[in-house]
Amino acid sequence: MRAHNRSQNPVIDSSIEGEHKKETPGPPQMAEPEVNPFTLIPARRSHVSP
């Protein structure tokens, strides 16, 4: 997809990348911290529980 966008629209690619970068840090950041602490906490508790 990225390669296609870059090949098809090099100019739009810059705009998409800029918007993607702005939008990417939003969801990924929220998902990363949530998955990281949540996964680590439940994983540790699960390991410690049993």
Amino acid at 31: A
- Per the CB < 8 A criterion, the answer to whether 5 and 13 are in contact is yes
pTM (two decimals): 0.13
3-state helix, strand, coil in the chain (%, to 5): 90, 0, 10
Angle between helices 10-23 and 26-48 (to 10 degrees): 40
The per-residue pLDDT for 2 is: 54
pLDDT digits (tens, 9 = 90+) for 5-50: 455 655 655 555 555 555 555 555 555 555 555 555 555 555 565 5
Confidence of residue 1 (pLDDT cuts 50, 70, 90): low
Query: So what's the pLDDT on residue 23?
Result: 52
Q: What is the pLDDT of residue 39?
A: 58
What pLDDT, on the 0 to 100 scale, is given for residue 15? 56
